[in-house]
Amino acid sequence: MLNTNFFPVTLPPRPSGHYAHLVILRETDSYALFQTDGELNTARVHAGVSSSALITRITMFKRKQTTPERLVGRELLRRYGLISADYASEGKDRKLDDRGVAIDKTGLPVCDYNVDFCKQCPDCISYGFAIGDAGSEKSKVYSDTAYSLSAFDASHEAFTLNAPYEDGTMSRKGEVTSRINEQDHVRPQTLFPAVITVRDLTTPLFLYVLSNVLRTRRYGAQTTRTGTITNHLLGIVLADGEIFRTCTSPSASTTS
Ligand SMILES: [Zn+2]
């Protein structure tokens, strides 16, 4: 159903106004944790377009959304032999192919995330990279902070987490452990509407970004302990510009 004629056939050298928007609803499946320094991130924002009352919502910063999606994509690139699983090598161990791309023993490009980007794989081209003075590529995948649809009070639960000894108790030789933590978690089935904008990518690269969004389940710093999220794709909007702009006043016309 997707009109793939919309996308450029090759990557344009300069911005050329092909905006594909993924409208998604991120839904927590279990108790999730999006935090910085031990606290859930929150923001005071308007309740909606027609109500300017301020409410507190849980926020999911953009890097917390795109980094896990990017890593899921890179895992697949390694799984199917498109980039090497090796770390970057230095000095005389560093081998380059005739395009100047670092390669491993088998000739696969070495793309070491945030260390030595290969500058040519689907990940580097779509999400961009920066290598000090050696060049950079802007990301063609834009996202923004996502806010919980429901207010903070209804969207979170405080848990006390214990780290008991092996026998299940919290004390040893009469001494009680201090390994008790209070931690706010995002409740299951909390919804975070989000729009991911992809600019000027070809059809295969757009599908790569879309697949990463649909496959990613774990967000947050400690990926083995935080809860999972399902990304529901509500729609794809193809346009010559960004579809959402800041609403200047609650009474703004709905046709603006
Ligand atoms: Zn790369």
**Ligand 1 centre distance from Cα of residue 122 (Å):** 7
47 CB-near residues (< 8 Å, 6+ apart): 53, 54, 55
**Ligand 1 centre distance from Cα of residue 110 (Å):** 7
For residues 117 and 74, the answer to whether their CB atoms sit within 8 Å is no
For residues 103 and 116, the answer to whether their CB atoms sit within 8 Å is no
Q: Within a 10 A sphere around the Cβ of 4, how many other Cβ atoms?
A: 11
**Ligand 1 centre distance from Cα of residue 117 (Å):** 5
pTM (2 d.p.): 0.86
pLDDT tens sequence for the chain (256 residues): 899 999 999 999 999 999 999 999 999 998 888 776 667 889 999 998 899 899 999 999 888 899 999 999 999 999 999 999 999 888 888 899 998 899 999 999 999 998 889 999 999 999 998 877 767 888 999 999 999 999 999 999 988 777 778 887 777 888 877 666 777 889 999 999 999 999 999 999 999 999 999 999 988 655 556 678 999 999 999 999 998 765 444 443 333 3
**Ligand 1 centre distance from Cα of residue 34 (Å):** 27
